[in-house]
Amino acid sequence: MTDPFAEIIACRHAIRQHRDAKGDDRCWLDDYAVWALIAGSFPVPTEVPPVEEATDMCRAYFKLRRADTAEAQNPAAVTDPKLWDTDLEKMDDAQLTQELARIHASVRLHRDNACKPLTLDDDRALYAVLPEQVAADFRLPPEDEFLGEAKAPHAGCPSFWRSHAKCLVKRHNLHQWGPCHDERV
């Protein structure tokens, strides 16, 4: 039997990492880390998709999941991370189980909505399950930097995907620039 308290903490941590990524660190691949919380979800990709296919995913991400300005902070938001999970201390086993089911339902909805292109609203709905109600920062670098190489040579999504073209392994860590050489990756 699993410990619902520990599982809630792990789920909230994964959702917070997704929410708190900023700028170039925001990526469609981050969805998989959250979806992995649900049994039977899509596995985290370890094979490099074709550059054009991956770049198309980056284009869709840029178009549908970015904002020009930072979200306004909810006046009721709890900004001290030490307080974010204190609500759990007051819950009995039945309430913890119910809270875990609520989190899983939110993650499942986010995952299942991936059959259409996900939007900011899908991410906002996922983050709404967190008790602190801290706003996410959906801003991304300018399009020519995020989707191109305007910032510097060998920067941006296409360069990232090309960086894995010379990897010597079949399993890639797609959260790091390639090439991957270590067989344990």
In this prediction, residue 46 carries a pLDDT of 78
In this prediction, residue 100 carries a pLDDT of 97
Lowest-confidence region among 14-28, 45-59, 112-126, 167-181? 167-181
- Going 71 to 177 to 39 to 184, the CA torsion angle's sign is negative
Kindly state the average pLDDT of the residues 72-96: 96
What is the C-alpha separation between 118 and 64, in angstroms, rounded? 7
In this prediction, residue 50 carries a pLDDT of 83
Domains of the chain, by residue range, sit at 4-45+67-141
Q: Is 66 exposed, middle or buried (0-12, 13-18, 19+ CB in 10 A)?
A: middle
Amino acid at 59: R
Tell me: pLDDT of 60 over 50: yes
In this prediction, residue 158 carries a pLDDT of 84
pLDDT per residue as tens digits for the range 117-131: 999 999 999 999 999
